[in-house]
């Protein structure tokens, strides 16, 4: 699944001819994937009934909470580094040279052929990160706050699944301006895109709203969520991670977990202030057994395998999953 012309074109071409289209995307659990049939929407995972929790899922969940690291598919691990490390990485330098030869000498065409723009983008991230450092705040013990982890800009999760929230700066302006008195809105950059936010837009918002704070991106996301009174997300995996912690979660967009009663899911943005107030007044953590059963159901809706990972054993596992799904 992705927001690329080739994938969108293949989807519409298939559907217009009555051919089924199956998108593949990483599941919440490492090493597992979702198959999404004939839709750009997230695979909806509802609340289960009286479901048994397997030892494998219990072990996975405990491992996620003990390590307190973001759930990242293997294909994306290289993104979770500062811009400077990406720019100086020997592999990236070699690939830059290879792509330069492919484009300008061999005249090859591909979707990722805008080499200069890509390099400039990462240089801009490096500069933005340096300029934003003066705004970064630590976690303040005892502070009352609502947490919104920033999404990857222009990711398919926003552009395709929740385009009404594509302008995150407009959303932050609305959310910060409608928080109850005495509460701050904490935001933190996505660990794979530190520096990707627009410096001018963020600095203006920080000056306009005294209750808006940007957290140092090196602080562990689980530590921020654990300290938060409420977690707001569009549809990121942070929402699911906050569910694991039992925190009150408000999910505004299209995510696999939005059908669950463990999250609040407003139909319109105008409902957000009332839901935040409701969540703050209830101050109630989700029942751990309900959380475990829900994520067992997430596991049951997923299949073994990783995408974009060509190690032979994974190819075998992935092929079996795809065959069994289609069967």
What is the tens place of the pLDDT at every residue in 277-294? 999 998 778 888 899 999
Q: What is the pLDDT of residue 79?
A: 67
> Which 3 state secondary structure label does DSSP give 67?
helix
Using an 8 Å Cβ cutoff, are 265 and 258 in contact?
yes
Across the range 209-235, mean pLDDT stands at 95
- CA–CA dist 61, 315 (Å, integer): 25
For the chain, how many helices (H) and strands (E)? 13, 9
Spell out the long-range contacts of 237-245 with Cβ–Cβ below 8 A and sequence spacing 24 or more: 237/28, 237/70, 237/71, 238/70, 238/149, 239/263, 240/28, 240/71, 240/298, 241/64, 241/70, 241/71, 243/286, 243/291, 243/294, 243/295, 244/61, 244/64, 244/65, 244/291, 244/295, 245/65
Work out whether the CA dihedral 162, 167, 168, 172 comes out positive or negative.
Answer: negative
The dihedral over CA atoms of 264, 76, 320, 24, expressed in degrees to the nearest 10, equals 50
More confident residue, 109 or 239: 239
Taking only the tens place, the pLDDT of each residue in 111-151 is 777 888 888 888 888 999 999 999 999 998 889 999 999 99
Residue 38, sorted as left (phi over 0), alpha (psi -120 to 50) or beta, turns out to be left
Residue with tokens 């943005």: 269
**Taking 90 as the threshold, does the pLDDT of residue 14 lie above it?**
yes
- CA–CA dist 133, 140 (Å, integer): 17
Q: What is the pLDDT of residue 30?
A: 86
DSSP category for residue 183: -
Helices 199-208 and 115-132, interaxial angle, to 10°? Answer: 30
Residue 212 structure tokens: 């808006």
Stated pTM of the model = 0.90
- CA–CA dist 254, 234 (Å, integer): 7
Residue with tokens 């997300």: 233
Taking only the tens place, the pLDDT of each residue in 179-198 is 999 999 999 998 888 898 99
CA distances from 230 to 136, 245, 266 (A): 21, 11, 15
Q: What is the pLDDT of residue 138?
A: 93
- CA–CA dist 195, 153 (Å, integer): 11
Helix (H) or strand (E) holding 250: strand 249-251
DSSP category for residue 66: H
């Amino acid at each position: 699944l992705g927001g690329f012309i080739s994938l969108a074109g293949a989807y519409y071409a298939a559907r217009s001819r009555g051919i089924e289209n199956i998108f593949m995307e990483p599941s919440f659990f490492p090493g597992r994937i979702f198959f999404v049939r004939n839709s750009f929407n997230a695979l909806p995972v509802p609340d289960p009934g009286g479901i048994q929790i397997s030892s494998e899922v219990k072990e996975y969940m405990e491992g996620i909470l003990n390590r307190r690291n973001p759930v990242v598919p293997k294909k994306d691990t290289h993104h979770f580094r500062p811009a400077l490390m990406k720019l100086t990485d020997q592999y990236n330098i070699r690939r830059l040279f290879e792509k330069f030869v492919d484009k300008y000498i061999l005249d090859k065409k591909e979707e990722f052929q805008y080499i200069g723009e890509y390099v400039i983008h990462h240089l801009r991230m490096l500069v933005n990160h340096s300029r934003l450092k003066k705004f970064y705040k630590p976690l303040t013990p005892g502070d009352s706050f609502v947490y919104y982890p920033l999404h990857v800009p222009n990711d398919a999760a926003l552009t395709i699944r929740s385009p009404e929230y594509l302008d995150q700066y407009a959303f932050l302006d609305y959310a910060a301006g409608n928080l109850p008195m005495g509460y701050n809105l904490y935001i933190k950059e996505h660990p794979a895109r530190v520096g990707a936010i627009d410096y001018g837009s963020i600095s203006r918002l920080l000056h306009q709203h005294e209750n808006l704070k940007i957290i140092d991106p090196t602080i562990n996301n689980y530590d921020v969520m654990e300290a938060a009174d409420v977690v707001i997300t569009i549809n990121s995996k942070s929402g699911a991670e906050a569910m694991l912690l039992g925190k009150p979660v408000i999910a505004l967009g299209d995510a696999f977990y939005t059908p669950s009663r463990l999250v609040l899911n407003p139909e319109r943005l105008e409902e957000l202030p009332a839901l935040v107030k409701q969540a703050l007044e209830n101050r109630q953590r989700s029942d751990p057994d309900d959380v475990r059963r829900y994520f067992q159901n997430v596991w049951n809706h997923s299949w073994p395998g990783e995408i974009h990972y060509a190690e032979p054993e994974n190819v075998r596992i992935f092929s079996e999953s795809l065959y069994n799904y289609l069967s």
